[in-house]
Amino acid sequence: VAAALRISSALHVLTVVALGATALLAGLGGPFLGALALAAVLLVWEHRLVRPDDLSRVDAAFFTINGWVSVALFLGLALDMA
pLDDT tens for 49-59 read 888 898 888 88
pLDDT digits (tens, 9 = 90+) for 1-56: 999 999 999 999 999 999 999 999 999 999 999 999 999 999 999 999 888 898 88
Q: What is the pLDDT of residue 24?
A: 96
Q: What is the pLDDT of residue 36?
A: 98
Q: What is the pLDDT of residue 54?
A: 87
Q: pLDDT grade, residue 62 (50/70/90)?
A: confident
DSSP 1: -
